[in-house]
């Protein structure tokens, strides 16, 4: 396709860290967009005060906003002004561990946060596709060269035993995971499925999960319209696991709250929710793999984690959550 026919969408870094801006620029330079998404992101880096010169008053665009250790007041004002000018603009936070980026993310319902020193071209590529095209469900943004489906691609409905489902999924995935990652991989599978059965099948509220420590029954009956779909895909560098329900009952704010409760910010000696019974599993998946949550409210929720064969590529702690309304 003629490049002149593709939509050129502004993507801007707003901050003062020149090295950080340079890394983002390299990421965009390393991505071949082709014609699949009918767009070409146009990246530039600017001081935050010059944001109006780069972002459109109408139409699509994306801003990477640097969150500094000087505090959040300036960044909050910037994000608020961006939203007032054009509510369709997408915002990604670039943050240090020393700043409570969860406060900004929750306050502005921003589900995309990447750590300044822990991101790569794959994350930038996937975020750009998700936020600028609305293509949030499925594996495509994370496997730009394609992927192999299977051996696990199952839909569970009717009478099921939860531990049997967990074990079946684990056994199907086991040959595709590095041996030294198997124990953590099984925990991830277990936690995501327990959460899915709790919220989507049993209808256990977040409050009851927290205060009464309720868990799903060992065996449940799943109506066909509420079926749970689980799939595994692979490529040469990683495996991806998707767990999808048919209710859309999870919320972005719930996920952000639980991740914050299990995170140390600034000078905190330990996470504020270190003794919480709920949220630990989700936080573990977030810390030791690449974790994605997609929510179509009232319709379906998909949780994905990516497990790279190269262990260090898993430790990025990116927050990638998208919540949209069906209408």
Specify the pLDDT at position 72: 64
- Candidates 299, 261, 304; CA nearest to 285 is 304
Specify the pLDDT at position 1: 47
- Candidates 108, 76, 93; CA nearest to 13 is 93
Specify the pLDDT at position 304: 92
Listed by start position, the domains of the chain span: 3-133, 142-324
Name the 3-class secondary structure at 207: helix
Q: Kindly write down the DSSP assignment for every residue of 17-57, as one continuous string.
A: -HHHHHHHHHHHHT---TTTTSEEEEEEEE-GGGGGGTS-S
Close Cβ partners of 30 (under 8 Å, ≥ 6 residues apart): 121
Name the 3-class secondary structure at 308: strand
Residue 213: other Cβ atoms inside 10 A: 10
Name the 3-class secondary structure at 262: coil
d(CA 44, CA 281): 38
Digit-by-digit pLDDT tens for the chain (327 residues) are 455 556 889 999 999 999 999 999 999 998 877 677 788 899 999 999 999 999 999 999 999 999 986 556 788 899 999 999 999 999 999 998 888 889 899 999 999 999 998 899 999 999 999 999 888 999 999 998 888 887 778 888 888 888 888 888 888 888 888 888 888 888 888 888 887 777 665 555 556 555 555 566 777 788 888 888 999 999 999 999 999 888 878 889 988 988 898 888 878 888 888 877 777 778 888 888 899 999 998 888 899 999 998 888 888 888 899 998 876
Which pTM does this prediction carry?
0.88
Region for residue 224 given its phi and psi (left: phi exceeds 0; alpha: psi -120 to 50; beta: otherwise): alpha
Q: Regarding the domain delimited by 3-133, which CATH topology (the fold level of the hierarchy) does it fall under?
A: Rossmann fold (3.40.50)
Provide the CATH number for the domain formed by 142-324 in this structure.
Answer: 3.30.565.10
- Crossing angle of helices 182-196 and 280-288, in 10° steps, is 140
Name the 3-class secondary structure at 172: helix
Q: Are 119 and 307 in contact (CB under 8 A)?
A: no
d(CA 124, CA 101): 18
Q: What's the DSSP call for residue 316?
A: T
């Amino acid at each position: 396709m003629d490049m002149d026919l593709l939509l050129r969408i502004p993507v801007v870094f707003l901050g003062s860290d020149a090295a950080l801006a340079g890394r983002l620029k390299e990421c965009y330079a390393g991505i071949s967009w082709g014609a699949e998404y009918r767009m070409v992101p146009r990246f530039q880096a600017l001081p935050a005060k010059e944001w109006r010169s780069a972002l459109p008053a109408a139409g699509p665009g994306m801003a990477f906003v640097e969150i500094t250790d000087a505090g959040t007041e300036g960044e909050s004002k910037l994000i608020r002004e961006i939203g007032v000018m054009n509510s369709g603009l997408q915002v990604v936070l670039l943050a240090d561990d020393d700043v409570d980026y969860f406060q900004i993310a929750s306050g502005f319902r921003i589900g995309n946060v990447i750590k300044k020193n822990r991101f790569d071209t794959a994350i930038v590529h996937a975020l750009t596709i998700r936020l600028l095209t609305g293509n949030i469900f499925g594996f495509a943004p994370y496997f730009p060269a394609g992927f192999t489906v299977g051996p696990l691609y199952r839909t569970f409905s009717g009478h099921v035993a939860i531990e049997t489902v967990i074990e079946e999924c684990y056994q199907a995935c086991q040959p595709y995971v590095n041996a030294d990652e198997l124990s953590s991989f099984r925990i991830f599978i277990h936690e995501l499925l327990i959460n899915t059965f709790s919220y989507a099948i049993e209808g256990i509220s977040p409050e009851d999960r927290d205060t009464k420590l309720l868990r799903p029954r060992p065996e449940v009956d799943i109506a066909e319209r509420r079926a749970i779909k689980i799939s595994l895909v692979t490529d040469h560098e990683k495996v991806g696991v998707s767990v999808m329900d048919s209710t859309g009952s999870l919320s972005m704010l719930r996920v952000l709250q639980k991740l914050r409760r299990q995170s140390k910010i600034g000078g905190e000696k330990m996470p504020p929710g270190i003794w919480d019974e709920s949220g630990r599993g989700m936080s573990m998946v977030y810390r030791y793999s690449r974790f994605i949550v997609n929510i179509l409210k009232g319709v379906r929720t998909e949780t994905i984690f990516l497990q790279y064969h190269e262990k260090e590529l898993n430790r990025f702690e990116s927050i990638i959550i998208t919540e949209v309304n069906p209408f």
